[in-house]
Amino acid sequence: MIAQAREAEASGFDTVLVMDHFYQLPGLGTPDQPMLECYTTLGALATATSTVQLSALVTGNTYRNPPMLAKCVTTLDVVSKGRAILGIGAGWFEREHDDYGYEFGTFTDRFERLEEALNIVAPMLRGEAPSFSGKWYTVANALNNPRVRPTIPIMLGGSGEKKTFRLAALFADHLNIICGRADIPRKVEALRQRCEEAGRDPETLPTSFLTSVLVAETEAEVATLLEPLSPGARGRVVAGTPDRVAEILQKEILDAGITGLTINMPHIGHRPGAVELAGRTLRPLVG
């Protein structure tokens, strides 16, 4: 992971992100496969890098109480000298909750909790000492020191056009939109509507889109790398030579209204040089 983070930094990526999960995700592996705790890992990456921003994509709100989460991300900001981002979402992986003893609750429960958490965490990241009494959380003059900058950016991640996008319009500095590529124009329009309802200029809320990428120098290499993947996995990855991958990402994501790209490379990202090639592929698209 350190090797990948350093390669990403050297290749022009501006942010390195890790999952906040305890088990490997369905579709990528089985629950017993290795998975490191998120914020401990980010702290380690902070010591191994110097310029990239560091974040979870995204923190499961249900796994930590809000003041502890604010303290975790602020400590990451201190040890990284001002490079932390709070990525946060409502949480969705029910088995992790059941196995670890966290309350999962209903869909509505989790979004109620997320909104309450943001009302606590956001002011703490600004150096305020909020008091809050809600259905799910209660804090009294919650202090958060030391800090190294006036505030820490908040990134929400999700696909919900009514709940997630509304909270992004109210609280976020960035929204990572999760959906199929064909759904991007609808999501962008829904976000614009939520911003307008909140009295916010949509242009002040940057967006990104997460997609898996598999890029190789030749079509023959691409075919070889795709061969072991299941048909479902192949359908979820943007694969091809650099020119082809760049064309797809530009046409289907950036031209559809998304302002930034987030990629993962679960199939080849561990290979030396793969992240560097992805950086060369993407750099012309986002400047």
Q: pLDDT (tens digit, 9 = 90+) per residue, 246-281?
A: 999 999 999 999 999 999 999 899 999 999 999 999
Q: Is residue 205 a part of any domain in this protein? A: no
Instruction: Please check the confidence at residue 286 and state whether its pLDDT lies above 90.
Output: no
Do 35 and 107 sit in the same domain of this protein?
A: yes
Q: Is residue 166 a part of any domain in this protein? A: no
Instruction: Please check the confidence at residue 230 and state whether its pLDDT lies above 80.
Output: yes
Domain-terminating residue out of 158, 184, 219? 158
Q: Is residue 240 a part of any domain in this protein? A: yes
**How confident is the model over 170-202, as pLDDT tens digits?**
999 999 999 999 999 999 999 999 999 999 999
Do 122 and 242 sit in the same domain of this protein?
A: no
232 — pLDDT class (breaks 50, 70, 90): confident
**How confident is the model over 29-59, as pLDDT tens digits?**
899 999 999 999 999 999 999 999 999 999 9
Single-letter code of the amino acid located at 286: V
**How confident is the model over 72-96, as pLDDT tens digits?**
999 999 999 999 999 999 999 999 9
Q: Is residue 278 a part of any domain in this protein? A: yes
Do 137 and 218 sit in the same domain of this protein?
A: no
Q: Is residue 82 a part of any domain in this protein? A: yes
Number of structural domains found in the chain: 2
Q: Is residue 264 a part of any domain in this protein? A: yes
Do 152 and 216 sit in the same domain of this protein?
A: no
* pLDDT value for 254: 97
Q: Which domain holds residue 72?
A: 2-158
Instruction: Please check the confidence at residue 287 and state whether its pLDDT lies above 80.
Output: no
**How confident is the model over 128-166, as pLDDT tens digits?**
999 999 999 999 999 999 999 999 999 999 999 999 999
% of residues, the chain, pLDDT over 90:
95
Q: Is residue 8 a part of any domain in this protein? A: yes
Do 148 and 251 sit in the same domain of this protein?
A: no
Q: Is residue 173 a part of any domain in this protein? A: no
CATH number at residue 124: 3.20.20.30
28 — pLDDT class (breaks 50, 70, 90): confident
Instruction: Please check the confidence at residue 283 and state whether its pLDDT lies above 90.
Output: yes
